[in-house]
């Protein structure tokens, strides 16, 4: 039994593309974070199970809630802006007939503004397919699935269509950086002027130069620059929180 899990909030426009790619699964579970558009109605057209549950600023908690809704079998986590390619769907189906591992890394490729990115943060490997009961998600944001067992890797790609506009890209990193700063504060970390200045520079060099983001042209450069800005926001907000200054609007 394979259950696909999709976390959603105001994803009515892009959700159908993701749900159509999951038809090979035995069941699809959409966890809706109090959407104010017609996300739920769109999801119900595809005859999936929809459960409303507030994110409450914790992505790992939301994913663990989803796991609690699945009794047995396997779970495949796919975001609303991700698509399982036919080749990956076929590979998953074949692998689960005689699984050799308790979970699997999936390779994800970013497609931004019409360009398929080959470097930078693209082509990341993420644990997204796992047997129920073999692990839990950790981390408020940029969360990871910690598996207690053997982990393999599938060959075919999961396609990711993030940030349809620069405005939405910046809005999302503003939200994510707040969650990350709060998480770091809870872990006892502090920020400094040196971190605020140099961490973003190192992030840009890491993505743009070391991971060859420049090879993706203008799109790759923009991604590296925005992710460096994400690092600046995280460290800046962590400093403000430590001083008792609100980072909320």
Give residue 27's pLDDT. Answer: 97
Q: 108: which strand partners?
A: 124, 158
Same domain, 56 and 120: yes
In a domain, 176, yes or no: yes
Distance, C-alpha 4 to centroid of its chain: 15
Conformational region of residue 133, where left means phi above 0, alpha means psi within -120 to 50, and beta covers everything else: left
pLDDT score at 68: 97
Decide if 248 is inside a domain. Answer: no
Q: What is the largest CA-CA distance in the chain?
A: 55
For residue 87, give the CATH number of its domain: 3.90.550.10
The token pair at 234 is 């995280």
Q: Say whether both 81 and 204 belong to one domain.
A: no
Assess whether 185 and 136 both reside in one domain: no
Number of domains the chain contains: 2
Domain boundary among 109, 135, 160: 160
Q: Which residue segment(s) compose the domain that 212 sits in?
A: 166-242
Boundary-marking domain end, from 160, 175, 190: 160
Q: What pLDDT was estimated at residue 20?
A: 97
What's the pLDDT at 34?
Answer: 95
- The number of beta carbons lying within 10 Å of the beta carbon of residue 147 is 17
Residue 119 pLDDT: 79
Within this chain, do residues 174 and 122 fall inside the same structural domain, yes or no?
A: no
Q: Determine, yes or no, domain membership for 59.
A: yes
Tokens of 139: 């981390």
Q: Which pLDDT does position 228 carry in this prediction? A: 96
Q: Do 59 and 110 fall within a single domain?
A: yes
**What would the pLDDT profile of 193-226 be if each residue is shown by its tens digit?**
999 999 999 999 999 888 888 888 998 999 999 9
- Residue 177 within a domain: yes
Which two three-digit tokens encode residue 5? 């899990």
Per-residue pLDDT tens listing for the chain (249 residues) = 999 999 999 999 999 999 999 999 999 999 999 999 999 999 999 989 999 999 999 999 999 999 999 999 999 999 999 999 999 999 999 999 999 999 999 999 999 888 888 877 777 899 999 999 999 999 999 999 999 999 999 999 999 999 989 999 999 999 999 999 999 999 999 999 999 999 999 999 999 888 888 888 998 999 999 999 999 999 999 999 999 998 885
């Amino acid at each position: 039994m394979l259950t696909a899990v999709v976390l959603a909030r105001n994803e009515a426009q892009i959700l159908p593309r993701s749900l159509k790619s999951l038809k090979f699964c035995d069941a699809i579970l959409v966890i809706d974070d109090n959407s104010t558009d017609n996300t739920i109605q769109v999801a119900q057209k595809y005859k999936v199970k929809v459960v409303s549950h507030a994110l409450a600023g914790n992505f790992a908690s939301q994913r663990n809630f989803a796991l609690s809704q699945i009794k047995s079998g396997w779970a495949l986590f796919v975001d609303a802006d991700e698509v399982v390619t036919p080749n990956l769907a076929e590979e998953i189906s074949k692998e689960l007939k005689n699984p050799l591992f308790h979970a699997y890394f999936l390779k994800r490729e970013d497609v931004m503004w019409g360009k398929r990115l080959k470097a930078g943060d693209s082509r990341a490997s993420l644990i997204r397919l796992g047997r129920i009961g073999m692990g839990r998600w950790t981390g408020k944001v940029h969360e990871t699935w910690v598996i207690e067992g053997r982990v393999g890797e599938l060959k075919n790609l999961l396609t990711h269509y993030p940030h349809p506009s620069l405005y939405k890209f910046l809005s999302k990193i503003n939200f994510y950086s707040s969650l990350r700063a709060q998480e770091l504060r809870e872990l006892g970390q502090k920020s400094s002027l040196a971190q605020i200045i140099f961490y973003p520079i190192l992030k840009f060099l890491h993505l743009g130069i070391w991971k060859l983001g420049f090879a993706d042209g203008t799109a790759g450069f923009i991604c590296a620059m925005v992710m460096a800005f994400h690092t600046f926001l995280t460290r800046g907000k962590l400093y403000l929180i430590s001083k008792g200054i609100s980072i909320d609007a």
